[in-house]
Structure formats: C-alpha cells, structure tokens
Amino acid sequence: MIGYLTLGTNDLARAAAFYDALLAEIGGKRWMETERSIAWSAAPGTPGLSICKPFNGEAATAGNGTMIALAAGSQEKVDALHRKALSLGATDEGAPGLRGPTYYGAYWRDLDGNKLCAFHVG
C-alpha cells in the first residue's frame, strides 16, 4: 500500500549524505533524484523513502507525532542502523532493545529533527 514516504529538509546535500550512508546499511540506493528531492529504495517496486525541500518554500519542520519506521530484518541490523545514524550526527531517541515480547526497536532523530525507528519483529 505505501509507495514511498517523504521527509522535509532544509539542507538537501547534508540530508542526502546522511541518508546515502544510513540506508546503504539495509540495501537502500537512490532511485530518483531532482533538484528538490531524492528518493531511495531497496529494490524496484518496493516502498521507498525520500527527502525534499518543501514545495511552498517555507522551512521544513519535523512533524510532532510523525515517525518513519524502517524494517531492518534482524536485531543486529537494528543495532547497526541506530549506531550508524548516531555516528552520522543523529540524536538518540531510544537505544536498541525489546519493546514487547517480539518487537525490537531503536529510535533517533535525523539532522532535520525527523524521528525514525529501525525495527525487527520476531
């Protein structure tokens, strides 16, 4: 059902470098790019993540209560994504760990303040 999700940025080049390095950890590669936006996906036809400068020209802001969750595939990948995000300048919003009997997740905010999560169920 979801084709792609978009996060706003105020610095496209900085955000692109962050997401190039972060999403490479789970096989993400750029699949579309314009002067205002960049999108990544792990494979053709699978959901993607994009960043863009807001169309209205106003500053991008992080949505209160908005979060993007990245399916990591394993607890080890959750750990790796969280570690990578923090090494790239993200801020910690919750260290990797169990959040229920089978849900393992980690949380951070990107360089523009957008909240993301890496998770694995099982």
Query: Which domain covers residue 99, as residue numbers?
Result: 4-54+66-121
Q: How far is CA 75 from the centre of its chain?
A: 17
In a domain, 95, yes or no: yes
Q: Tell me, what CATH number does 96's domain have?
A: 3.10.180.10
| pLDDT tens column, 15-29 | 999 999 999 999 999
In a domain, 21, yes or no: yes
| pLDDT tens column, 57-102 | 999 999 888 999 999 999 999 999 999 999 999 999 999 999 999 9
d(CA 9, CA 47): 20
In sign, the C-alpha dihedral spanning 61, 53, 119, 103 is: positive
Our count of domains for the chain comes to 1
The residues near 110 (Cβ < 8 Å, ≥ 6 apart) are 7, 15, 18, 19, 85, 90, 116
In a domain, 61, yes or no: no
In a domain, 60, yes or no: no
Considering the chain, what percentage of its residues have pLDDT values greater than 70? 100
pTM here? 0.91
Nearest to 93 by CA among 102, 104, 77, 82: 82
| H or E, element range at 115 | strand 115-121
